[in-house]
Homo-oligomer: A and B are copies of this chain.
């Protein structure tokens, strides 16, 4: 199904595809902090802010058109004397779930973070009720190093904990 899936640096032409994924992912209000009503402009400004390395996963459609099915970014989690620890965020198109795209992006991102010179990876805000994500991160070596009580206002579950996750690279 995923013949020709590639992961590559994002460019200006990917903005429509990335926004479509962000829009669908944040609509649920269950996995990311962004307000489900956030505009295209504010989300793309955030996703492409200057300090970030942005990537997409894409595949060829049956019409031989490239379709963006996932996106992630890497950046230093702190400036200056803390900039050896990488931070990242990942989103997969809801239509492409179950194909292992999240895992492929995660594995790629660890290699890429190493290549960029980072020596550790930290996630600041993994929603505790998002067990599929937590399990995926744990399977690539990320450990829960802290729990922020009630840090997330989950759309259906209400106040929900968020995890801080970390691994050396």
Interface residues of A (CB under 8 A from B): 29, 32-35, 38, 78-85, 120, 122, 124-125, 145-155, 162, 164, 166, 168
| Bound Cα distance A114, B35 (Å) | 22
Listed residue (A81, A147, A155) with the most chain B CB atoms within 10 angstroms of its CB: A81
| Bound Cα distance A33, B83 (Å) | 8
The secondary structure that dominates the A interface is strand
B125 touches A146 (CB 8 A): no
A166 touches B153 (CB 8 A): no
A148 touches B85 (CB 8 A): yes
* Closest Cβ neighbor of A37 among chain B residues: B80
Number of copies: 2
Q: 11 A-B Cβ contacts within 8 A?
A: A33-B82, A34-B79, A34-B80, A34-B81, A38-B80, A84-B153, A120-B151, A122-B151, A124-B124, A145-B146, A148-B166
| Bound Cα distance A18, B166 (Å) | 34
Give the Cβ gap from A106 to chain B, nearest Cβ, in Å. 20
A153 touches B81 (CB 8 A): yes
A148 touches B151 (CB 8 A): no
Give the Cβ gap from A126 to chain B, nearest Cβ, in Å. 12
A151 touches B29 (CB 8 A): no
Give the Cβ gap from A26 to chain B, nearest Cβ, in Å. 8
| Bound Cα distance A85, B120 (Å) | 25
